[in-house]
Amino acid sequence: AQTVTQSQPEMSVQEAETVTLSCTYDTSESDYYLFWYKQPPSRQMILVIRQEAYKQQNATENRFSVNFQKAAKSFSLKISDSQLGDAAMYFCAYNGYNNNDMRFGAGTRLTVKP
């Protein structure tokens, strides 16, 4: 079974600084998707960024970028120029190519200090 591990329950960053959230996963599949979701207090999961495993290039969405290391099964999220609105729970998720069940990590709570 695939598992997703987020080893940082909490992280803190100063406004305008850069922070990296860690995620590792375990799988025997070669084709899959990886995601980072943001969950603010409103509870709605918002997709931050998505990576397809067959693509070697790291995905980037504005201030958000990932460091995808397929051999190491690592998928970290870098947030640049952190803003107060970035404060939330961040979840790493895995989805096998032909699977319907997305697997989530336990989450990292990010605090942004003004």
Nearest distance, CB of residue 50 and another protein, angstroms: 7
CA distance 68 to 74: 6
SS3 for 84?
helix
Cβ proximity to another protein, 45 vs 67, nearer residue: 45
For residue 36, give Cα distances in angstroms to 23, 45, 114.
Answer: 9, 10, 24
Nearest distance, CB of residue 76 and another protein, angstroms: 17
Contact footprint for another protein (CB under 8 A): 4, 33, 37, 42-47, 50, 91, 93, 95, 98-107
Cβ proximity to another protein, 90 vs 112, nearer residue: 90
Cβ proximity to another protein, 33 vs 64, nearer residue: 33
Joined tokens for residue 17: 């600084």
Nearest distance, CB of residue 14 and another protein, angstroms: 25
Taking alpha carbons only, the member of 20, 28, 10, 106 closest to residue 68 is 20
